[in-house]
Amino acid sequence: MAMTYKRNAAVFAGTIGIEEAEALLAWLHDHPKPKLDLAACTHLHAAQLQVLMAARLPIAKWPDDAGLRNWLKSALSVP
């Protein structure tokens, strides 16, 4: 469920656990211009959050979950 990778898109859904962090990092490394779709995501582990913050990539779809959207928008838009 949680994370699915399509050709050039990573789709986050539900709760993303810490165990996905390494795979995400590796995938981001291979795909410099990915499409990040977090629409169905409800929570992601702090380790994932770090990866996203460090990667400084645009988010294609922000989470539908308002709580998470708020947090992510503030975290990922800090310069």
Considering only residues 14-53, where is the footprint of other proteins by CB under 8 A?
A: 14-15, 18, 21-22, 24-25, 28-29, 42-51, 53
**Alpha carbon distance 78, 5 (integer Å):** 26
| 61 lies in the binding site for other proteins (CB under 8 A) | no
Q: Is the dihedral of CA 55, 58, 61, 62 positive or negative?
A: positive
Residue count at the site for other proteins (CB under 8 A)?
35
Listed in sequence order, the residues at least 6 apart from 61 whose beta carbon sits closer than 8 Å to its beta carbon are 36, 37, 38, 39
Residues that bind other proteins (CB under 8 A): 1, 14-15, 18, 21-22, 24-25, 28-29, 42-51, 53-56, 65-68, 70-71, 73-75, 77-78
